């Protein structure tokens, strides 16, 4: 019989529960042996959906880490615990797949990176789901293959469907703001397509609160626009929004010197179109998960495969930190109203210097 | 100063008025010198829109034909007068652009053809507007250019927007039925793309009355489906409908041995798309004229040019008659419930013969 | 621990191997305990992909049926064995999921139906994959919900990508012909959307051999067009082809009295679009499996669920036979060159009668 | 007989020749009585295409202004003469339609505005063609109608097809740079949809030279990205490029608090789609004129109508100047590398002030 990776999931909230099921049901080479979440609701859910299939439930993270034979942990609880749990798992000698972001603070991210670097035999992955999406991968393969020439300009957006409640406001407390929470995906795409070693030249971000004025108390906005210049003649520009009416719309275009690739420029929920009074209409994905479900499943499977077969992960942990860094610069630009400039080493040019 | 073609329009109903304006305003090399329509409404309209620009109005067709210097006539009144007026104009030595169909009866069409053949110096054109449409022309050019290999299968439909009145029922009295009225355009496209000399092998048509049961009294239907086989390994199949909700939808696809071309597979009224609750929606052309306005203008200009420069017309009158013939065979198939077979000369195979 | 359905797969050819993997890896409530295929290649494949995960391989179908605890069999080998294996499995008291078609012969299909009816406690399902496709299901739900009024006309096509080899010709020997092999899916859709009890009024089919002239020896064609009239004012018309250049294109539109639904009118392989010299281009699914992979997985899961939870299957076995019956009538129409008429009980009206 | 507006065109280069023909052939209420262009090629062209239809050709602008009965002048020669010729025509008491931009310099634009304000009875229009485009007008009507709530974010781009010659480099000498030349249309759209009285809060622009390095000598780029914040919670962001491979792509989206409108998000040259090896492909407009031809014709007709019927022009000359002003601020931001800030009166906040 084949060996299956022994995996645990930490956090059984919305995204954590999905991760748990992905490993339980849709990752043939893995076995979900343990799950941790202290909340009574999560325990109840686990008793119904996980326990009968052989997953042991824990209310204590440390205990879970000691689960016999455990090899890997998926950190998928609340954002503020991502970094600490990841470090703890690394120290317990477990491979880790951590939901993005590691942290909304750059220094904390760097702490995780250092912990990982001390255990080079472990696979530590930050879950940038778009990296596992078939369409983005196809676009990247075509780009690498030279089909659009040199990638020069990227436009990318992460736009959520409007919600008629206070979710986005409450969430703003610890989300790091729309640029770190939403556009971090787009930033990561820029680093992927432009090269992981791209050096930022300048960052400018602006935004408005059009539907959720209460975001202002957190220095956050519900619509953000940003430009990131890179040294070497490349520019990425981003949009994020919390007020789409049709549904989630995450769209990217990569403009090369010899062509352009778009990903999800025409979002569609499925293959149905309605011809009705008023015209032709198609529905659109409603949530991030509608759009990226299959990417998450691929993520689970590849994470498993990289460990079992000792392959290299598809991208480095340090890239995830670079993305958060740029996201935080956007937040600073938004909040100070200033364009931030960086020299060719990536070091920020201070005002005094910049303005003389 | 340049010479301008002296044109008259007969019939100032909806389509006639449009033809008049096309010649008056959008055909630089023509001059609309006369217009005929005995109805008081038409005269009133003409007094406002044509007379001030130099067009003389007539209430008598014969008189109009005698208008000094008149060179060409556009026959655009009611269908039942098309043939007689066309023949009369030909006999008065005028070039003629006759709205489709010449007649819904094959023999009458043939009478017009004979009249035209007696005056080979005259240009006599039957207005199959799609022949002047830029998209169809582009598709035809690509086809001729070999881009889809040998055209083998054609699917084509002419579908009107549903009307919440009795227009389609009243119109059925003299329209010749949905296959002759609507699909005649699609048949003409088959003859264009497959070759004007294509010989019909069989015709089968069926239909239903789903929204306008009163059509039955005229042996007509509001949704029709038909197959026309041609000798030489080609098949065209057609759909027509009077109950589209989104708008007019006239779509064609030509399937060749090495590719496929579609024309208007994704109808759109303009370049606007709405992202709204329920999804992404675009509006659709509402009427035949919404879709083909520019084709009608091209028709006016090319008809004018062919006369002034003595060029060949873009297609032959005999083709128009062939299209009506096939349309009438569809009607016969619909009404008898039989598949009609034809031999390789195009002669109908009678039952007795066909069934031995 | 939960109980898992004990499943075996018969046939490890292309489609069989996929079914095996779907049950092994993507059907959480099932366990693939056995697989049968006598061919050495299949055994080799099974040793690599199934045996290590606990699936026992058989080279004898009878033996496999005796596998301890076996509850259900997936019959997915060559078409000509479908019926016999299904009957045998039923007689061995196993639930069966049989790939379509049960048989290309109506009488044989009926034999299977009778066998199944003798064991009403067994679930016997014929795998019409589109019934499990999310887009078709959404379209059906909208239709049932009244969003397009009364479904009146259906257009549906099953079109394969051209293959530059003799696959389609070899396959024609036992495929039953393009109408039974390909359009049977479309016929099944018509029965689904129009009602399983719809009675056929007439069948007309024509076709050509444009790319594979050798199909003629089997009375088959590479492009087929057919019309099926139903009593009660409904018409379905179908197209099938073996020469698409862009890829597989299976498209359906359902035209109701108050709207239209299309499914896959704009095929796309993924969400990428290329803007390049020549225009904007997107790729298209290449194969049936590209398009319906997820539907097959849903099929496995629902078949499993219906057995474990003793639920009704989503559609009846008798419907599958009705679809084959109509497909065979198309073949007869194609080969005789005649339109076939049926009375309101569905009985064929013989020539003598029809033509008097 | 009706009175026709007596019009002259100045400049018979590419765009001027088109304007001449629009007035000659496609503006029923106007008469092209005169045309000025001193170049021998233009004179030759005029002799062939204009003179035979009654247009008098001039090689001296002053002389042309004295053409008997002349009422209106279309200024369509080289950009650097726009302002002077417009002022001269105004002083000669002629209505003026001036191609955009009036000038690439703000002060010169303001000079024209003052000249126009001294003759309030004259109609002076700057030709922002998108204002006359049917799709933009439809989008604006829907916006005004509240269909997307309050317009909050605009994304708009003007992207030219790549040219394999030095046209764009030569053109850069007097074009004012890509932001003033190309994005000025997008800026104008922002002012239209956000309100003509919108006050700029900040301007940031960056750019690269990816295909035309020689643009650098003019301080210009071949790809530009810019953000314009407006007071009152609105943001517009822009892209311009000279290196599109598929064709011209001018796309706008207006994101409101309750919906989104896109204009030309899916560019298409016509209604044809090719299904071929590699997928489904459609062609795209190649030039600005491919996309906006009909808008230019509408412009000619409405300009004529506003004069003849003494109606208000669809938008004010001052708006055109506001657009140039913002475009020039983008150029300044690009060239200085700084974000420009403005106070609530629209006055630029100087560095010293901004940074304290």
* Average pLDDT of the residues of chain B: 96
- Write the burial class of residue A61 (CB in 10 Å: 0-12 exposed, 13-18 middle, 19+ buried): buried
* Inter-chain CB proximity A283 and B282 less than 8 Å: no
Stretch C93-101: mean pLDDT, rounded?
Answer: 96
Q: Which of B257, B337, B341 sits opposite C243 (nearest CB)?
A: B257
DSSP letter, residue C146: T
pLDDT tens for D303-326 read 999 999 999 999 999 999 999 999
- Which domains does chain C possess? 5-127 (3.40.50.720), 134-293+322-349 (3.30.360.10)
- Chains in touch with C (3+ beta-carbon pairs under 8 Å) read A, B, D
* Average pLDDT of the residues of chain A: 96
Q: Which residues pair with A127 in a beta bridge?
A: A99
* Inter-chain CB proximity D206 and A223 less than 8 Å: no
| Rounded Cα distance, B320 and B322, in Å | 5
Partners of residue A263 in chain C, C-beta under 8 Å: 271-272
Stretch B243-258: mean pLDDT, rounded?
Answer: 98
Partners of residue D138 in chain A, C-beta under 8 Å: none
Q: Which of D252, D272, D298 to mutate: most B Cβ within 10 Å? A: D272
Partners of residue A239 in chain D, C-beta under 8 Å: 153, 155, 237
Confidence of residue A123 (pLDDT cuts 50, 70, 90): very high
CA nearest A30: which of A305, A292, A296?
A305
Closest alpha carbon within chain B to A281: B281
Q: Which of C24, C53, C275 sits opposite A260 (nearest CB)?
A: C275
DSSP letter, residue B335: H
Q: Which of D152, D204, D211 sits opposite A204 (nearest CB)?
A: D204
pLDDT of residue A355: 47
- Chains in touch with B (3+ beta-carbon pairs under 8 Å) read A, C, D
How many C-beta atoms lie closer than 10 Å to residue B68's C-beta?
8
Partners of residue D280 in chain C, C-beta under 8 Å: 246, 266-268, 281-282, 284
Question: What is the maximal distance between C-alpha atoms in chain C?
Answer: 70
pLDDT tens for B290-304 read 999 999 999 999 999
Residue A17 has pLDDT above 90, yes or no: yes
Hunting for tokens 């329509």 — which residue is that?
A: B37
DSSP letter, residue A243: E
Q: Which of C246, C275, C277 sits opposite D276 (nearest CB)?
A: C246
| Rounded Cα distance, D99 and D129, in Å | 9
| Rounded Cα distance, C34 and C19, in Å | 12
Partners of residue B277 in chain A, C-beta under 8 Å: 245-246
The Cα of D104 is separated from the nearest Cα of chain A by a number of Å equal to 25
pLDDT of residue A1: 67
Least confident of A313-327, B215-229, C164-178, D342-356: D342-356
Stretch A1-15: mean pLDDT, rounded?
Answer: 93
| Rounded Cα distance, C222 and C271, in Å | 30
Closest alpha carbon within chain C to B157: C155
Partners of residue D227 in chain A, C-beta under 8 Å: 204, 206, 225-227
Closest alpha carbon within chain B to C246: B259
The Cα of C79 is separated from the nearest Cα of chain B by a number of Å equal to 29
Residue D351 has pLDDT above 90, yes or no: no
Size of interface B-D (CB pairs under 8 A): 90
pLDDT tens for D97-149 read 999 989 999 999 999 999 999 999 999 999 999 999 999 999 999 999 999 99
Partners of residue D183 in chain A, C-beta under 8 Å: none
Residue C151 has pLDDT above 80, yes or no: yes
Confidence of residue D235 (pLDDT cuts 50, 70, 90): very high
- Write the burial class of residue D316 (CB in 10 Å: 0-12 exposed, 13-18 middle, 19+ buried): middle
* Inter-chain CB proximity A235 and D244 less than 8 Å: no
Q: Sign of dihedral through CA atoms D306, D310, D311, D316?
A: positive
| Rounded Cα distance, C250 and C156, in Å | 7
| pTM for the full predicted model | 0.96
Percent of residues, chain A, with pLDDT higher than 90: 96
Q: Which of D211, D234, D339 sits opposite A338 (nearest CB)?
A: D339
Partners of residue B267 in chain A, C-beta under 8 Å: 280
CA nearest A74: which of A99, A93, A111, A108?
A99
pLDDT tens for D253-290 read 999 999 999 999 999 999 999 999 999 999 999 999 99
- Write the burial class of residue D281 (CB in 10 Å: 0-12 exposed, 13-18 middle, 19+ buried): buried
Q: Which of B26, B259, B263 sits opposite D26 (nearest CB)?
A: B26
Confidence of residue A356 (pLDDT cuts 50, 70, 90): very low
Confidence of residue A354 (pLDDT cuts 50, 70, 90): very low
* Inter-chain CB proximity A339 and D338 less than 8 Å: yes
Stretch B327-342: mean pLDDT, rounded?
Answer: 98
Partners of residue A242 in chain D, C-beta under 8 Å: none
* Inter-chain CB proximity D208 and A245 less than 8 Å: no
Closest alpha carbon within chain C to A258: C276
Q: Which of D278, D282, D283 to mutate: most C Cβ within 10 Å? A: D278
Residue B349, both tokens: 């195979």
pLDDT of residue D352: 57
* Inter-chain CB proximity C271 and A135 less than 8 Å: yes
Nearest 5°: the CA angle B132, B134, B135 is 120
Task: List the beta strands (DSSP E) in chain C.
Answer: 5-10, 30-36, 56-58, 72-75, 95-99, 124-127, 151-161, 200-208, 223-230, 234-244, 249-256, 259-263, 272-276, 279-282, 340-342, 348-349
* Inter-chain CB proximity C245 and D281 less than 8 Å: no
Q: Which of D266, D279, D284 sits opposite C284 (nearest CB)?
A: D279
pLDDT of residue B351: 67
Partners of residue A25 in chain C, C-beta under 8 Å: 26, 28
pLDDT of residue A351: 67
Q: Which of B2, B52, B259 sits opposite D2 (nearest CB)?
A: B52
* Inter-chain CB proximity D279 and C280 less than 8 Å: no
- Asked, as a colleague might, if the bond just before B353 is cis with ω within 30 of 0, I would say no
Question: b/e map of A243-276 (b: 16 or more CB within 10 Å)?
Answer: bbbbbbbbbbbbbbbbbbbbbbbbbbbbbbbbbb
Q: Which of A263, A271, A277 sits opposite C272 (nearest CB)?
A: A263
Q: Which residues pair with C97 in a beta bridge?
A: C74, C125
* Inter-chain CB proximity D278 and C280 less than 8 Å: no
Partners of residue C272 in chain A, C-beta under 8 Å: 135, 138-139, 142, 261-263
pLDDT tens for D73-100 read 999 998 899 999 999 999 999 999 999 9
Size of interface A-D (CB pairs under 8 A): 96
Q: Is C280 helix (H, G, I), strand (E, B) or coil?
A: strand
Stretch C49-75: mean pLDDT, rounded?
Answer: 97
* Inter-chain CB proximity D264 and B276 less than 8 Å: no
Higher pLDDT: D175 or B63? It is B63
Stretch C45-64: mean pLDDT, rounded?
Answer: 97
CB C336 within 8 A of CB C207: no
CA atoms within 13 A on the CB side of B177: 28
Partners of residue A202 in chain D, C-beta under 8 Å: 206, 337
Partners of residue B273 in chain D, C-beta under 8 Å: 261-262, 265-266
**Residues whose CB is less than 8 angstroms from the CB of residue D1 and which lie 6 or more positions away in sequence, other chains included:** B52, B53, B54
pLDDT tens for D24-66 read 999 999 999 999 999 999 999 999 999 999 999 999 999 999 9
Hunting for tokens 């090629």 — which residue is that?
A: D41
* Inter-chain CB proximity D237 and A239 less than 8 Å: yes
CB D267 within 8 A of CB D249: yes
Closest alpha carbon within chain D to A249: D260
pLDDT tens for B65-77 read 999 999 999 999 9
Percent of residues, chain A, with pLDDT higher than 70: 98
* Inter-chain CB proximity D276 and C249 less than 8 Å: no
Residue B353 has pLDDT above 60, yes or no: no
């Amino acid at each position: 019989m084949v060996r299956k990776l022994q995996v645990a999931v930490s956090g059984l909230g919305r995204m954590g529960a999905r991760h748990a099921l992905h490993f339980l049901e849709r990752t043939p080479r893995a076995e979900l042996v343990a799950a941790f979440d202290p909340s009574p609701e999560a325990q109840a859910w686990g008793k119904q959906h996980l326990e009968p299939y052989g997953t042991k439930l824990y209310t204590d993270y440390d205990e879970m880490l000691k689960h016999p034979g455990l090899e890997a942990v998926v950190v998928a609880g609340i954002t503020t615990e991502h970094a600490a749990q990841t470090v703890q798992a690394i120290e317990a000698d477990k491979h880790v797949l951590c939901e993005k972001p590691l942290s909304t603070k750059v220094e904390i991210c760097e702490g995780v990176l250092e912990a990982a670097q001390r255990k080079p035999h472990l696979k530590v992955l930050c879950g940038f789901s778009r990296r596992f999406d078939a369409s983005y991968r196809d676009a990247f393969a075509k780009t690498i293959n030279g089909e659009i020439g040199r990638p020069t300009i990227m436009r990318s957006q992460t736009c959520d469907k409007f919600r008629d409640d206070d979710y986005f406001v409450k969430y703003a407390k610890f989300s790091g703001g729309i640029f770190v929470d939403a556009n971090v995906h787009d930033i990561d795409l820029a680093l992927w397509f432009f090269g992981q070693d791209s050096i930022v030249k300048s960052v400018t971000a602006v935004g408005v609160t059009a539907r959720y004025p209460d975001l202002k108390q957190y220095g956050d906005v519900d619509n953000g626009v940003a430009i990131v210049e890179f040294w070497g003649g490349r520019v990425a520009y981003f949009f994020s929004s919390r007020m789409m009416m049709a549904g989630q719309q995450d769209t990217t275009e990569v403009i090369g010197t010899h062509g352009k690739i778009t990903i999800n420029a025409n979002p569609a929920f499925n293959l149905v179109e309605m011809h009705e009074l008023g015209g032709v209409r198609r529905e659109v994905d409603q949530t991030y998960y509608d759009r990226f479900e299959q990417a998450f499943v691929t993520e689970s499977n590849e994470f498993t495969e990289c460990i079992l077969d000792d392959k290299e992960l598809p991208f480095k942990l340090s890239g995830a930190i670079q993305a958060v860094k740029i996201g935080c610069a956007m937040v600073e630009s938004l909040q100070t109203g200033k364009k931030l400039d960086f020299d060719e080493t990536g070091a920020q040019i201070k005002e005094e210097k910049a303005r003389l």
